[in-house]
Amino acid sequence: MSELRVQANPRAAARAQPYAAAQALSAGGFAAATREISAWPGYAPTPLVALPALAASLGLAALWYKDERGRFGLKSFKALGGAYAVRRVLARQGLPAKDVTVTCATDGNHGRSVAWGAQVFGCRSVIFIHETVSEGRAQAIRCYGAEVRRVKGNYDDAVRHAAAEAARNGWYVVSDTSYAGYRDVPLDVMHGYGVMAAEIAAQLPAGVVPTHVFVQAGVGALAAAICASFWLRWGARRPRFAVVEPARADCFYRSLEAGRPTAVHGDLDTVMAGLACGEVSQLAWEVLETGADAAVAIGDASALEAVRALALPRGRDPAIVAGETGGAGLAALLALKERPDLRAQLALGADSTLLLFGSEGDTDPEIYRRIVGRSADEVLAA
Ligand SMILES: Cc1ncc(COP(=O)(O)O)c(C=O)c1O
């Protein structure tokens, strides 16, 4: 059986506790990002797909899957954050775009978004990747005119490298992770992600609020943006919130356990490339410290099972193309199926209605084909 652990958050806010007005993520920030991004050429809401047969097989009442594969042609939700932050950097600096270089570290998707934003808005980009980022993902970033540099170490090493090079060269760091003294840009990134929450609220059946949300976390920017959006929107009716992580990069799990940000070291090796982060983003922690109800740590085998389960659906459910990171929320549900004790801990039962974030499609088509045995086109044509 694949690895599976659940950590309840002892500091989780009571349902009735309002979203703290002092929080950096704000209703105004989310609304501004949604106004701007929904006016970009090529904008269209991504589908919210109901998967009733899969829900029934897992002993749940309903399952919705927000499928981000089609987002601006970039194949992941990250298109919303990095590119929006590039736009905001240019607006804040007031310099001609051609004189600006933006940079970031990435395990693939964020760098693709920053490179795309740089190309669209006319500035230069230099993107840092670490040792285990696949060549397919590096190539996808170069497609948008970025210079891609590979550095030794893991994602967190690449973050430090990008910051040092930016300081040396006068470049602007467009990071999705925040740390002491660096908050404005990651805040923009997170407000950009809120577009998904706004779309979901309009796509759910009228009056319906899911009972649970499972969101996969790397540095936690996605999870925190969604958590804050729903808290602001739905208050005490907001869903129970679980953060899903790879067992070997479980920094939120450990942080919730310890009650403070706690890093995970080592190579953080996992097939869930987008989640191979060992340090929580400060801004994300500020929301999830009380906004998350639990963390779930899963093994790689579950992630691969989820990719296949979405590609080869049950009953009349549609086929969905998801990468290893994109299917992580479902991976947790699949693993939990055999563990009634842990399901009870998460208050999951036959009445539960689940919302999952399909945060990426086949961002590396070659890896996708190896996992499923066919290409995304073949899966969708079947
Ligand atoms: C496809 C995908 N899903 C989820 C995440 C996690 O997002 P965050 O690092 O904001 O937690 C990432 C991050 O790279 C990603 O690429």
Q: How far is the CA of 180 from the centre of ligand 1 (A)?
A: 21
Q: Please give the Cα distance from 64 to 212 (Å, whole number).
A: 11
DSSP 182: B
352 lines ligand 1 (CB under 6 A): no
Interval between CA 338 and ligand 1 midpoint (Å): 27
Residue by residue, DSSP assigns 109-140 as HHHHHHHHHHHHHT-EEEEEE-TTS-HHHHHH
Q: What is the Cα–Cα distance from 245 to 328, expressed in whole angstroms? A: 8
- What is the structure's pLDDT at 2? 76
Per the structure block, which two tokens stand in for 332? 């947790």
Look up 75 and say whether it is catalytic: no
At residue 311, the 3 state secondary structure works out as helix
Asked if residue 123 lies in contact with residue 102, where contact means CB atoms within 8 angstroms, the answer is yes
**DSSP letter assigned to residue 236:** G
pTM for the full model? Answer: 0.96
pLDDT value of residue 1: 57
DSSP 315: T
Q: Token pair of 143, please?
A: 């497609």
Q: In angstroms, rounded to a whole number, what is the distance separating the alpha carbons of residues 141 and 163?
A: 19
Catalytic, 107? Answer yes
| DSSP state letter for 98 | G
Strands 48-50 and 124-129: unpaired
Spell out, as residue ranges, where the chain has pLDDT lower than 70: 1
Our mutation pick for probing the ligand 1 site, out of 109, 243, 270, 356, counting the most ligand atoms within 8 A of Cβ, is: 109
- Domains recognised in the chain with CATH numbers: 4-76+185-381 (3.40.50.1100), 78-181 (3.40.50.1100)
Q: Give CA–CA dist 16/168, Å, rounded.
A: 48
Pull the structure tokens for residue 47.
């589908």
Provide the pLDDT for residue 201: 98
From the CB of 293, is ligand 1 less than 6 Å away? Answer: no
Neighbours of 198 (CB within 10 A): 18
The span from the CA of 90 to the CA of 99, in Å, is 10
**CB distance 333 to 380 below 8 Å:** no
Query: CA torsion angle for 110, 111, 117, 123 (degrees, to 10)?
Result: 150
Residue 278 CB–ligand 1 contact under 6 Å: no
Predicted pLDDT at 107: 85
Beta-carbon contacts of 291 under 8 Å, excluding residues fewer than 6 positions away, are: 12, 13, 224, 227, 228, 231, 241
DSSP tag of 88: H
235-258 per-residue burial string, b: 16 or more CB within 10 A, e: under 16? eeebbbbbbbbbbbbbbbbbbbbe
Three-state DSSP at 224 gives helix
- Which stretches of the chain are DSSP H helices? 27-37, 52-57, 81-93, 109-121, 135-142, 155-169, 184-203, 221-234, 251-258, 282-291, 300-311, 328-336, 340-345, 365-372, 376-381
Our answer on whether the CB atom of 114 is closer than 6 Å to any ligand 1 atom is no
List 67, 107, 188, 293, catalytic entry = 107
